[in-house]
Amino acid sequence: MVAGTVSAMASELCKTISEAKLERHKNLFLNYRNLHHFPLELLKDEGLQYLERLYMKRNSLTTLPENLAQKLPNLVELYLHSNNIVVVPEAIGSLVKLQFLDLSDNALEIVCPEIGRLRSLRHLRLANNQLKYLPAEVGDLRELQTLDISTNHLITLPERLHLCLSLQYLTADRNHLWCVPRHLCQLPSLNELSMAGNRLAFLPLDLGRSRELQYVYVDNNIYLKGLPSYLYNKVIGCNGCGSPVQKSEAKLLSFSSGQLTVFLPAEVKSIGTHLDPVLPLQELAMRTLHNTFCGFFKDFQFLTPISLPRSLSELLHCPLGHCHRCSQPMFTIVYPKLFPLRETPMAGLHQGRTAVSFVAYCCSTQCLQTFDLLS
């Protein structure tokens, strides 16, 4: 009985693939077929060069064939949701026309660097896998609009992710991320950022400065106590944030006002107050360099590694943040000012389910004194 059922399924599979070849189908549906490997009928002979969309959801595939691109040269969308694939092989980089790749709900542990060769890719879904890191080559996906890497084991995001200039939706919920790289604030098209259920203790100073970014979800990051004031009037999810953790546990600079305490980004070297009107010499030098040369040398290529330590050179390319009052770039020191969310008109939206504050990061005592979140 079982043998007969398997034989009937194999016969039906061969018939489906043969019809697709004969009739030059653009779509091929092979979902729920209990497939443990790619069907040989898909990979032998010709006839599928017209295929644009291949659906193989909810099977038991464990790998992808090396000659997939050779047999399916015009593939635009590949759906492999809910299989048992462990590795995205090098061959994936040969699918040069691919625009949509869904590998969510697999057993992925490795994504090969060749994924960066998918220069037409617009949507990449890698949610619900076992990934601990992603290759830097993800940053080569200049057409990428959607990236879903939620429910993995990621500690950091790809170091060149900020080069995905078309990225609009980034979802990285339920990982082990402890920071949002400040370079992501430079993404010109990012509209929605979701990093709920991670280990975030702070957010970049400039997060929300872009007008394009309208939706930010950081719910259930229990160490997170401060939201950059740029996020005021954006759509924010921050329920479950603001656990009363001690400073010694987080090992970060913190700023207190009354009974409120927030952690500051790790790159912040010092905290200014209204009693510190004179800026440190290093900060003055960095601001002078930036203001003098940024208009003439956009990439600061004139500054060699000998001229400036690498860390400071990178700061010139991407400042720590911009003053929330006057937009002056800041590099080592910030003057923070707290505005408890419970004291703003937004308090009713969260109904006491969060204990965060908005933080205005200013560049001087003057901006600190004149900044008003509600004005």
The reported pLDDT for the residue numbered 40 is 82
The reported pLDDT for the residue numbered 2 is 44
Q: What is the mean pLDDT of residues 298-317?
A: 67
In a 10 Å sphere around its CB, with 0-12 CB exposed, 13-18 middle and 19+ buried, how is residue 314 labelled?
Answer: middle
Which of 85, 78, 31, 24 lies closest to 54 in space, CA to CA?
78
* Burial letters 276-301, b for 16+ CB under 10 A, else e: eeebeeebeebbebbeeeeeeeeebe
| pLDDT tens for each residue of 340-366 | 887 676 655 655 566 789 999 999 999
Which residue matches tokens 């040989």? 40
The reported pLDDT for the residue numbered 307 is 67
Higher pLDDT, 208 or 267: 208
The reported pLDDT for the residue numbered 352 is 58
Q: What is the mean pLDDT of residues 7-21?
A: 80
The answer to whether 241 touches 222, Cβ cutoff 8 Å, is yes
Query: What band does 192 get if pLDDT is binned at 50, 70 and 90?
Result: very high
Give the C-alpha distances (Å, rounded to integers) separating 264 from 8, 26, 250. 63, 52, 11
| pLDDT tens for each residue of 196-213 | 999 999 999 999 999 999
Q: Which residues on adjacent β-strands are paired with residue 256?
A: 261
Query: What band does 297 get if pLDDT is binned at 50, 70 and 90?
Result: low
The reported pLDDT for the residue numbered 349 is 60
Q: What is the mean pLDDT of residues 249-275?
A: 81
The reported pLDDT for the residue numbered 109 is 96
Higher pLDDT, 56 or 294: 56
Higher pLDDT, 121 or 303: 121
Query: What band does 258 get if pLDDT is binned at 50, 70 and 90?
Result: confident
Residues belonging to the chain: 375
Which residue matches tokens 């759509």? 235
Average pLDDT, the chain: 88
Alpha carbon distance 92, 334 (integer Å): 45
pLDDT > 70 fraction of the chain, expressed in percent and rounded = 89
Q: What is the mean pLDDT of residues 155-161?
A: 92
The reported pLDDT for the residue numbered 310 is 77
Residue 266: pLDDT above 50? Answer: yes
The answer to whether 263 touches 277, Cβ cutoff 8 Å, is no
Alpha carbon distance 183, 313 (integer Å): 14
Query: 258: which residues sit within 8 A by CB, 6+ positions away?
Result: none
The reported pLDDT for the residue numbered 46 is 75
Residue 302 has what DSSP assignment?
Answer: T
The reported pLDDT for the residue numbered 1 is 45
Lowest mean pLDDT among 138-147, 149-158, 269-278, 343-352: 343-352
| pLDDT tens for each residue of 88-145 | 888 899 999 999 999 999 999 999 999 999 999 999 999 999 999 999 999 999 999 9
The answer to whether 94 touches 71, Cβ cutoff 8 Å, is no
Q: What is the DSSP string of 219-252?
A: TT-TT--EEEGGGTTSEEE-TT------HHHHTS
Residue 45: pLDDT above 80? Answer: no
Lowest mean pLDDT among 12-16, 218-222, 245-249, 350-354: 245-249
Alpha carbon distance 43, 41 (integer Å): 6
The reported pLDDT for the residue numbered 303 is 54
pLDDT > 90 fraction of the chain, expressed in percent and rounded = 61
Alpha carbon distance 25, 53 (integer Å): 9
Q: What is the mean pLDDT of residues 46-63?
A: 91
pTM of the predicted model as reported, rounded to 2 decimal places: 0.91
